[in-house]
Each structure stands twice: as C-alpha cells, then as structure tokens.
Amino acid sequence: MSESEPDRILHLQEEVDQLKEAVSSHAVVDQAIGMVVALGRVTPDEGWQVLKEVSQHTNIRLRNVADLILLWGRTGDMPDEIRVELTEALERYGPTQIPGAPAAE
C-alpha cells in the first residue's frame, strides 16, 4: 500500500526541513573553518581537523563549536574550555597565538 497524498507531503516537508538544516550547519562549519585557517595559518583540511579535535575534547557538537567560534569573531567572547582546546589544537598544527589567550612560553 502506498502513502496517502497528505502523508507523502508531510514526509517530503520533513525531508526538506532536514536538508535546510544540513545546508545551514555546513555553512556555519565552513565559516568557522575559515576563521581557524586565518587565525592559525593552517590549511582548510587542518582547520577541519582542529574543529573536530576541539569538538571531541570538549564533548560539544561540532556545529556548536563552530557557532561559538563565529560568535567569538563577532563579540570577542569565547568560553575558556573552547579557547584552551582551540589553542592546543592549533599548536598541534603549528605555533599560533589566539587573541586573548595567555602568551605561549
């Protein structure tokens, strides 16, 4: 038995909503990678790895880490946990200094 027309429309609308969220999430992550690339002077692939590592080490979803990095770019505020992990992850890919972070010794 096939789906009724209203069920099919509902199913398609749910699919469209999921795709919209995926596109939006992808854009946020790409923007955060761009900030990491510029700040850390790393490649885009390394920027992606940095975001993944920060996400894994803080147990915060990657999309949320990306949101916090973009918010930091606008406001200058970043949770200490994210700042520390971001600094450490970037240092694994080359020396860098995150504005507002304690000076490296």
Q: For the segment 43-55, what is each residue's pLDDT rounded down to a tens digit?
A: 899 999 999 999 9
pLDDT of residue 21: 80
Give the H or E element holding residue 17.
Answer: helix 5-40
Q: Which residues of the chain have pLDDT under 50?
A: none
Sequence ranges of the domains in the chain:
8-92
pTM of the model: 0.71
Q: Count other Cβ atoms within 10 Å, centred on residue 90.
A: 24
Give the H or E element holding residue 3.
Answer: none
Cα–Cα distance for residue pair 91/95, rounded to 1 Å: 5
